[in-house]
Structure 1
């Protein structure tokens, strides 16, 4: 078995200050924006129409295929969304469109979506990943993301990690499809497998 998996980052390239960076969810979601970051159904709380205005704190104006943000939201242009849709037909994913407005609150783009794969998957080796469990059984911290080979056979093309639902992982097939399109601001980091039997 030679499957590989990659963590898909949501921060984007922090070195390029010209890139558009989002400062939050669509206006009106307020506290319900956690649904977009943790794989809970967001559709009931998602505004229609949805609107995101660029913040003065992030003056970049260059659009990229993936819009970086610090809120663990997966925000992508329609062409990247199409690749995800093609590879994720067998899993529940919300594709939520929004209007992007510039710093002066002028319409900038209608070509972006929040991508919200629902649920999470048990895929880590907890010991190798240094998963810390709190007194009530909740996960306090994951030291690193180390996969358990015994758990990866049924994993889909895109999923969230059970112990850290705000972390996105893609399969080798989806990573190859993304790289073939030369999308911008898409960062994939190869994940290790544990050495335990």
Structure 2
């Protein structure tokens, strides 16, 4: 069966909550985009708060600016049931506070993806390279993939060439939608990701 791939994006729904305090709450938070285990750096007592200028609607995938997935317990179950289990990701629990500083009853997790795939199509994608480091890319405007380089079981992974980007396969997107989960935003390959 042929699958298509998408880039995980920020939500455009102004009603949805957003969390932007991960860098303030977690030392070495940037390691969450390295595709390596960080469990001991992320205690379950970590508190993240809903941004005061965001919406009020709780979603299963929380919008954030930190290039990580923050998901509900329901989303975690769907991801695990569809191949994003303990070998593919760390599910790091955190405590979510609402805008008034009260604990939200729902359980949430940061999904630390443990796999990255080197499949960035240098010929079709739009990006920049550093003048003194031609192999180092930045300023990505659009992403295309060399799908023949993607392992058959890779449904959710980081782009190895630029790990701030998360790639999701179409069958996993469909499973998330079928489960009625909210908040996931994706862009088709080739769309503007800047």
- Going from structure 1 to structure 2, the CA distance change for 1:172 and 1:28 (only over 3 Å counts) comes to closer
Question: Which residue matches 1:182?
Answer: 180
Per-residue displacement from partner, 1:105-160 (whole Å, max 9, x unpaired)? 22123411101112411112111113433223422232311111331354511101
Q: What is the distance in 2 between the residues matched to 1:155 and 1:148?
A: 15
Question: Which residue matches 2:170?
Answer: 172
**Which secondary structure does the structure 2 equivalent of 1:146 belong to?**
coil
> Of residues 65, 81, 103 in structure 2, which corresponds to 1:70?
65
CA RMSD of aligned residues (A): 2.2
8 Å contact kept, 1:26–1:50: no
**Which secondary structure does the structure 2 equivalent of 1:125 belong to?**
coil
- Going from structure 1 to structure 2, the CA distance change for 1:37 and 1:186 (only over 3 Å counts) comes to same
Report the TM-score, using the length of structure 2 for normalisation: 0.84
Question: Which residue matches 1:82?
Answer: 77
Q: What is the distance in 1 between the residues matched to 2:86 and 2:170?
A: 16
Q: What is the distance in 2 between the residues matched to 1:150 and 1:44?
A: 35
Report the TM-score, using the length of structure 1 for normalisation: 0.83
Q: What is the distance in 1 between the residues matched to 2:86 and 2:111?
A: 15
The number of equivalent residue pairs is: 187
- Going from structure 1 to structure 2, the CA distance change for 1:107 and 1:114 (only over 3 Å counts) comes to same
Question: Which residue matches 1:12?
Answer: 11
8 Å contact kept, 1:133–1:140: yes
> Of residues 43, 50, 53 in structure 2, which corresponds to 1:47?
43
Q: What is the distance in 1 between the residues matched to 2:119 and 2:153?
A: 8
